[in-house]
Amino acid sequence: MSQAPRRINTDRSLNRPDQAAKAAPRPAAGTTGTSGRPAAGSTSGSGRSAPPRHSAQPARQVEPPRRRKKKKKTPLWLPFAVVMAVIAVVSGVVVYGVSMLNKVEDSLRPDDSTPTIQEEVKTAEEYKGDVVNILVCGIDYEEGRNYSDASSNDGMTDMILYCQFDIKNGALHMLQIPRNSLVATQNRKITLSNGKTYAASNYQINSVALSNGGSIAALADVIYDQYRLPVDYYVSVDMQALVEMVDNFGGIEVYIPHDMSYGGSKLLKGYRNLDGTSAEFFVRCRHGDGYANSDIDRLNMQRYFYAGLFKRARSMGVTDILNQLPLVFKNYIKTDMDISTIAKLVVSFLKIDSSNIILAQTPVFMGVPNVGKTDSFGGYSCVVPDAGSIAALLNQYFCTYTGPIDVSEMHLVTDQWPHGTASTDANVQYMGRIDKESDDAILNGNTDLSGAVTTDGQAAGSAN
């Protein structure tokens, strides 16, 4: 017997049917008449309508689909305002940086009349970027030492330091040239191999710039011709700047290798904090205890000051150093370097470890006392360059890029002045060794960071 076809209940609610309704039996086919009344045999009363169905549980309402919250629209002006604010901040930093660099550059820029270094004196083109050679000179303008005429304030180049920045290999080699090194013949003239002629009023290297219109470029020319050392840039510093610079730093911590005493001024051995006046006495003193060789011993003492100064510079940042330049060296320093070159060199220097910094000095024959004091030599006492020893020193430490030089290529004046037979030592030192002496003094408690100089009577500068 076939089953009656299933009817689809179109009256159903869209709500999900409850469980009780699912469990209720479906009425058999034909039990309901066409009129909708219950058929005969139904258990319901004929006069009673079917009770409404109630859910066993309240019907759960189907939640309508959630709508995404509308994002608040960013005002059109906000990104523009942020961008403008960033530009303003950056511009402010840039303007400050540019103004600071302009101040530095204005304070360092040489006069228009200052001659620049000749192109042929500079480092060869193929090595540029790998090495930079700088001539640093300290000019002594001590009161009462006017050399050209009574009204001038000229001074001798009493500190000559040749600095070779080996940027490629991260090293710094410095060469001290004694200020009274012989450079001229008896006519007080320096004749270069290219035929140019310069004057030297006292036959010594420290008078070259002064005797030629204050030109450090002339001195660089002479150094290149006689020592075969290329010079890319120069820096000349008034020694009076030393006092201001050190005081501006709040003092410089320096190791003093032995007691110093001269003219009423005194410094005791040990690790000391030197103020400007004390530092000036320290670097300029060349008489008194521990100075058997005068200028040569002074060069050796100056190295300890360089070590203290470099240590202070390394503890500072590039910005701090550049900030100090206009404050410290305004009217005291001249150079033919532009500010970008200075900044690059400062960055390169701060990366150099003290173990890669070398100091040396040109070996010289000491002059014989009371010899040669004739009218032609003017009574000056010079030291005579030891060409052979100098060539060996330069080939080992300063001719890395250009290749070795021969004595015959150097045009040193070596036979124009009476001198001894034994030359001084090049005294090659690594900055790291000097730093170790300082560290040992600190470990041993031999320190006085509050200052350690007493000055009675003459000023420290008179130690010259």
* Model pLDDT, residue 15: 45
Strands 252-256 and 270-274: antiparallel
| pLDDT exceeds cutoff 60 at 22 | no
The residues, ordered by sequence, that sit 6+ positions from 219 with a Cβ below 8 Å of its Cβ are 135, 137, 157, 160, 205, 208, 209, 212, 234
State mean pLDDT over 29-33: 47
In angstroms, the CA 209 to CA 303 distance is 24
What is the C-alpha separation between 224 and 220, in angstroms, rounded? 6
Q: Which residue carries 């759960």 as its tokens? A: 60
Question: pLDDT-based confidence at 131, cuts 50/70/90?
Answer: very high
- Of residues 241 and 130, which shows the higher confidence score? 130
Q: Is there a contact between 429 and 303 (Cβ–Cβ < 8 Å)?
A: yes
Q: What is the pLDDT of residue 222?
A: 97
Q: How confident is the model at residue 289 (pLDDT cuts 50, 70, 90)?
A: low
- Taking the C-alpha atoms of residue 223 and residue 35, their distance in angstroms, rounded to an integer, is 131
Check whether 357 has a pLDDT greater than 80: yes
pLDDT at 10: 43
Whole-model pTM? 0.73
At 31 the pLDDT is: 46
**141 CB-near residues (< 8 Å, 6+ apart):** 153, 154, 155, 238, 239, 240
Please state, in angstroms and rounded to a whole number, the distance separating the CA atoms of residues 322 and 344: 11
Model confidence pLDDT, tens digit, residues 374-394: 444 567 778 899 999 999 999
Q: How far apart are CA 393 and CA 401, in angstroms?
A: 15
Q: Which of 202-206, 308-312, 407-411 is predicted least confidently? A: 308-312
- pLDDT on residue 40: 45
Q: Residue 375 has what pLDDT? A: 44
CA distance 330 to 121: 28
Give pLDDT, residue 200: 93
Q: How many CB atoms lie within 10 A of CB 348?
A: 15
The answer to whether residues 220 and 261 touch, using CB atoms and an 8 Å cutoff, is no
Mean of all residue pLDDT scores within the chain: 75
Among the listed ranges 33-37, 165-169, 325-329, 366-370, which one has the minimum average pLDDT value?
33-37
Q: Which domains does the chain have, with CATH numbers?
A: 114-238+363-425 (3.30.420), 240-332+434-464 (3.40.630.190)
Max mean pLDDT range (130-139, 377-386, 450-459): 130-139
Alpha carbons 110 and 113: distance in angstroms, whole number: 8
Residue-level pLDDT at 12: 43
Q: CA gyration radius for the chain? A: 45
H or E segment to which residue 88 belongs: helix 77-108
pLDDT given for residue 244 in this prediction: 80
CA distances from 13 to 9, 16, 55 (A): 10, 8, 12
**Percent composition of the chain: helix, strand, coil (DSSP 3-state, to 5):** 35, 20, 45
Alpha carbons 56 and 348: distance in angstroms, whole number: 88
As a whole number of angstroms, the distance between CA 351 and CA 362 comes to: 27
Residue predicted with more confidence, 31 or 315: 315
Measured distance between the N- and C-terminal CA atoms of the chain, rounded to whole angstroms: 138
CA distance 229 to 394: 9
- The one-letter code for the residue type at 435 is D
Of 107-116, 208-217, 363-372, 407-416, the least confident: 107-116
336 pLDDT band (50/70/90 cuts)? confident
Asked which of 114-128, 238-252, 315-329, 362-376 is least confident by mean pLDDT, the reply is 362-376
Average pLDDT over residues 323-333: 69
Confidence of residue 66 (pLDDT cuts 50, 70, 90): low
DSSP code of 125? G
> How many angstroms separate the CA atoms of 106 and 322, rounded?
12
Which pLDDT band, with edges at 50, 70 and 90, does 65 fall under?
A: low
